[in-house]
A and B are shown apart, each in its own frame.
Chain A
Amino acid sequence: MQLVVEARGLHKHFGALHVLKGVDLLLAERELVFVIGPSGSGKSTLLRCLNRLEEPSSGTVRVDGVDLLDPRTDINHARQRIGMVFQSFNLYPHMTALGNVTLALRKVAGKSRGEADELGRAALARVGLADRAGHTPGQLSGGQQQRVAIARAIALEPRVMLFDEPTSALDPELVGSVLGVMLNLRESGMAMVVVSHEMGFARNAADRVLFMDEGVIVEQGTPAAIFEAPAHERTRAFVGKIQRH
């Protein structure tokens, strides 16, 4: 089986704080892994190690066969293959939606302005925002902003998408539109790692759910296994807590 992400033995220290204590994450093509865990469990740090926004203290990370921690690796080239979506969208406020999507196409992928615009519009169409290309982030709702952020990542045709709590900054009525886009992406076969608390989405879309606590993966399994019959007491307690909401 072809692995898209192959992270092994990841450790991360922030000063005296040991945030990741030997984490392995393997992701196959077309697979969606859903990561849950209490705040401070290291799930965001794990995600950020997968595109080296965070430098792991030790361990290995391979994405699409490329060793991200090898000093000879061109990290900027490798990052094109790894899309990332953030909790707070992080759109560029001085650019239009199309400008946000095309910046990396032009500067990193080396497309001409015409080509980039065409690809950018196609990406915006995939997230249902073809008619918002000329709007600036300030003129868009939170849900629309997050969909532009997804378009910005998928325009580069990544091999894997990383989602860091993509819906937790959104008003409840806007969550659905973002999850809908993620579901479409999933159906198109995109490999995804999703850190989130959207249990309904996990049930529908995840191949595997991974429960993290205090820097380790406590247990992993199918959504049904983790949500209905968790093996560990810590998992049971956490799942019980979030399902009561």
Chain B
Amino acid sequence: MSNWERFVETFFNAKVMAKYLPDIAYGMLITVELAALVIISGLAAGLALALLRSLGLRPVNLLIVFVVDLFRALPPLVIIVFIYFGLPSVDLSPSGFVSTWLSLTLVLMAFSEEIFWAGITSIAKGQWEAARSTGLTYGQTLMNVVLPQALRLTIPPLTNRTIAITKGTALGTVVAVSEILGMASSAVSNSYNPSPLTLGALAYLILFFPMVVFGRWLETRMAWKR
């Protein structure tokens, strides 16, 4: 057997791949579910914190900044392990799925809050003044004038960050979530062949490549003439 044949036999073994394809497909389903939940809750929580911060209440803002910095500093895997193995000691036993979802949500919340906040503060003071001078309230100005402009500015950094954090769903494999990497790893141990990992990588590409392209498209679509 040549080196090349051995390589193909090891990483592209058709028999093994065919056998574990349904497992990987199931893993993809779990990854999509987990990723969708993380994106929705993480971005919603981040935006809510940024809006809360814009009210300018000093004690609240100090707390927000502390929480945000905390979750930006901690590695996501540490948070997952902490929630999964730590919370049972206070009589909460979140599943691996819930632990991973919660951890990544907190991380995405922290990073997206900073991005939303940067977007809101980058809108010129004159926009606020013009809107307030016509009688719009603080909230109406935020929602109708400032936020629509701020969101457009945040889309490129937000898409990048969201993709980076969502890929962290693979960390769930550590707490036995049967997502793509988890399914692929157990298939590797059962078949004594790494080909399922190749399938897994392919599955990640199928999921995340369109997200990257979508982000790029959104970026150009959201640009408007000054």
Contacts and interface: CB of A to CB of B under 8 A. Distances in A.
Interface string A43-66: 000000001010000000000000
B132 A79 contact: yes
Contact of B133 (A79, A88, A93, A137): A79
Interface string A95-109: 000000001100111
Contact of B135 (A53, A86, A104, A149): A104
B225 A138 contact: yes
A148 to B, nearest CB: 11
Contact of A138 (B135, B137, B224): B224
Q: How big is chain B's contact interface, by range?
A: 20 to 34
Main SS of the interface on chain B? helix
A139 interface: yes
Contacts of A76: 132, 135-137
Contact of B225 (A83, A90, A136, A152): A136
B140 interface: yes
A88 B126 contact: yes
B149 A91 contact: no
B135 A93 contact: no
Contacts of A32: none
Interface in B76-124: 124
Contacts, number: 75
Nearest to A53: B129
B163 interface: no
A117 to B, nearest CB: 16
Contacts of A78: 135
A104 B129 contact: no
A82 interface: yes
Contacts of A212: none
Interface residues of A, number: 30
A82 B133 contact: yes
A82, A90, A152, A156 — which one has the most chain B CB atoms within 10 A of its CB?
A90
A84 B133 contact: yes
A92 interface: yes
A80 interface: yes
A149 B133 contact: no
Contacts of B149: 92-94
A53 B224 CA distance: 29
B191 interface: no
A205 to B, nearest CB: 22
Interface string B118-162: 000000101101111111110010001100110010000000000
Contacts of A138: 224-226
A96 B144 CA distance: 13
A79 B135 contact: yes
B225 A139 contact: yes
A72 interface: no
Contacts of B226: 93, 137-138
17 contacts: A53-B133, A77-B135, A78-B135, A79-B132, A82-B133, A86-B126, A86-B129, A90-B126, A92-B130, A92-B145, A92-B149, A93-B226, A103-B144, A107-B140, A108-B135, A152-B134, A156-B135
Given A79-B133, A86-B129, A92-B145, 9 more contacts: A76-B135, A77-B135, A84-B129, A84-B133, A90-B126, A90-B129, A93-B226, A104-B131, A107-B140
Interface of A: 51, 53, 76-80, 82-84, 86, 88, 90-94, 103-104, 107-109, 136-139, 149, 152-153, 156
Interface of B: 124, 126-127, 129-137, 140, 144-145, 148-149, 152, 224-226
